[in-house]
Chains A and B, each alone.
Chain A
């Protein structure tokens, strides 16, 4: 596997379910990001981890819970979501040394019913 992978690619869940999104990067980077992409809205940064430490939490509701056990893996735990949380969730990684671009995974298309 190369680059940034995300699983699952598609997820349908009810509002009372608990699920997790997984992201793995094979690029040797040390910063990882979660973004939310909704139709007709700009890409929203949700969380940033740098060297496995959360450095940014953009006022995201507590029903979204990130976890970064090591520099290669990032999870987004979901519980009691709302229909408006339906979106494409994108994971990205970069080298945490300033002049580095982000590399994105293919995303997880989440539908909350």
Chain B
């Protein structure tokens, strides 16, 4: 079965600083990969996705992620963080075929300080 690891439970960055959130997955083949963001009291919003092709994917709100097969990683990045980016971020792995059975990581809570 696939699994997802987000090693950082909580990260604090200064507004305007760069951000990288780590995600590692375990799966025999290349899975579908997702990053979601959740603001307090809200559902999850899709930031970006990777299915195949270019390993650097662009998402909404200025986020990007890079798939590295050799490291089984799909890290999320943003060059300059805004206070409104404070939220919880979830990496997810999906299996190809049929309905999307997705496994979510435990999340990384991002705090942005002025």
* Residue positions of A touching B, CB distance < 8 A: 4, 6, 31, 41-43, 45, 48, 50, 55-56, 90, 92, 94, 96, 98-107, 109
Contacts and interface: CB of A to CB of B under 8 A. Distances in A.
Counting from the closest, the 7 A-B pairs by CB-CB distance are A104-B43, A43-B104, A31-B99, A104-B44, A50-B99, A106-B43, A96-B99
A99 B100 CA distance: 8
Interface stretch (B12-20, B45-53, B66-74): B45-53
B38 to A, nearest CB: 8
Contacts of B28: none
Contacts of A105: 43
B101 A56 contact: yes
Interface in B5-50: 32, 34, 36, 41-46, 49
A80 B11 CA distance: 39
Contact of B46 (A96, A99, A103): A103
A100 B44 contact: no
A62 B43 CA distance: 25
Contact of A101 (B49, B105, B107): B49
A105 B41 CA distance: 11
16 contacts: A43-B90, A45-B101, A48-B99, A94-B99, A94-B100, A96-B99, A99-B96, A100-B100, A101-B46, A101-B49, A101-B94, A101-B100, A102-B46, A103-B46, A104-B44, A104-B45
B114 interface: no
Q: Which of A4, A48, A90, A104: most chain B CB closer than 10 A?
A: A104
Given A48-B99, A106-B41, 16 more contacts: A4-B43, A31-B99, A31-B100, A42-B106, A45-B101, A50-B98, A56-B101, A92-B44, A96-B98, A98-B100, A100-B100, A104-B44, A105-B43, A106-B43, A107-B43, A109-B41
